Structure 1
Amino acid sequence: MHANVLQAETQCVSQASFDERRFRHALGRFATGVVVISTGSGDDLHAMTANAFMSGSLKPPLIVVSVGHRARMHERLMDRALFGVSVLSEAQEPHSRHFAGEPQSRLAPRFAPVEGLADVVLLEHAAARFAARVVDRHPCGDHTLFVGEVLVFSLDEHAPLIFFGGRYGSVAASDSIQRSTAACAQESPPIAASAS
């Protein structure tokens, strides 16, 4: 039976009339968090919403973002050494929409500088924040995978914003998660660059 499933999938993918819209819909069945990728600061700041973000490694600490070739962020990450990732909290849906190209008239996003890293700022009140140095770039079809070595990170007790099937959602943080996050927060210093 397993062989039949693989054969059916292979035939479906090899058809010349590949249904990109249905493929996108299928990918949307995977629930993700939502992040804002940022690079630069001040007047040079550029930020975009994404949900193609993942951990790459614990030792060394690596994260990965996938950015489409047509996005303005792609060109910037090809030329920059540093970038930031802010994992949005459930209260930051307007930030997600804003940095996805739907300006929110009443929103005034606030970014915090990272000590020792002049070219990275991170969103305030995010569920987690990472400042990273680009260590590798991998072509991946119409996207590029940018691998970043995490130089500094922080986390807060906010429940994350979720994206599923083209819609936003949230999950309630359980008491045990909040206790764990609070314990980690006591061990972690405020955002400041580590020596690496």
Structure 2
Amino acid sequence: MHASALRKADLAASAGELDERRLRTALGRFATGVVVISTGTGDELHAMTANAFMSGSLKPPLIVVSVGHRARMHECLMRSDLFGVSVLSEEQESHSRHFAGEPQAWLAPRFMEVEGLAGVVLLHRALARFAARVVDRHPCGDHTLFVGEVLSFSLEEDAPLVFYGGRYASVAQGH
């Protein structure tokens, strides 16, 4: 393994002078899965696409979503005690686009209620589904990190939808 030192000129400018567009491009070099965050039910249902999702802890079982302050979902999660996360399969790119603000007129997303948890619905046929109770909120610049305790989950055996470099992709599922 060969390591080389980076010259200061190779690195981005100091924090006060960062080029936001290049920073976004650099952050886009990290491949992520794609999720739909949901809260509420019926006429009060709100859902949005995100890729800022991670496992927080196994004991206790915690998940974390990052939501921008300007997103309508932010206000919903500030008022709600429960939320859902549906991890999208490679066959659900249209769902991602739909809940990212590109309405897919032909799409009729199907949500499933979570038994015993009024206020949480999850996307039908998602790769993995989590119902969570908000246990903490952490300001993080122009976003808030919402920490949720996993109350129930389910999973399927499909390939995930991946987002990399501003584009959707998929990965071969290994068995």
Output the TM-score relative to the length of structure 2: 0.93
Query: What residue identity is the alignment partner of 1:165?
Result: G
CA deviation vs aligned residue, 1:54-81 (integer Å, no higher than 9, x gap): 0000000000000000000000100100
The alpha carbon displacement at 1:143 in A equals: 0.2
Cα-Cα RMSD? 1.7
**Would the alpha carbon gap of residues 171 and 142 (structure 1) be closer, same or farther in structure 2, given more than 3 Å must change?**
same
More helix by share: 1
Per the alignment, in what secondary structure is the counterpart of residue 144 of structure 1? strand
Per the alignment, in what secondary structure is the counterpart of residue 30 of structure 1? coil
CA deviation vs aligned residue, 1:145-185 (integer Å, no higher than 9, x gap): 0000000000001110000000000012122xxxxxxxxxx
**Structure 2: distance between partners of 1:73 and 1:6:** 41
Are 1:80 and 2:80 an aligned pair? yes
CA contact (8 A) 2:12 2:18 kept: no
Count of aligned pairs: 172
Percent identical pairs in the alignment equals: 76
Alignment map for 1:17-56 (pairs within 5 Å): 17-56=17-56
- Structure 2: state its 5+ residue gaps: none
User: After TM superposition, what 4+ stretches of structure 1 lie above 2 angstroms from structure 2?
Assistant: 4-11
Alignment map for 1:1-150 (pairs within 5 Å): 5=6, 12-14=13-15, 16-150=16-150
**Structure 2: distance between partners of 1:120 and 1:9:** 47
- Structure 1: state its 5+ residue gaps: 176-196
Output the TM-score relative to the length of structure 1: 0.84
**Structure 1: distance between partners of 2:60 and 2:14:** 36
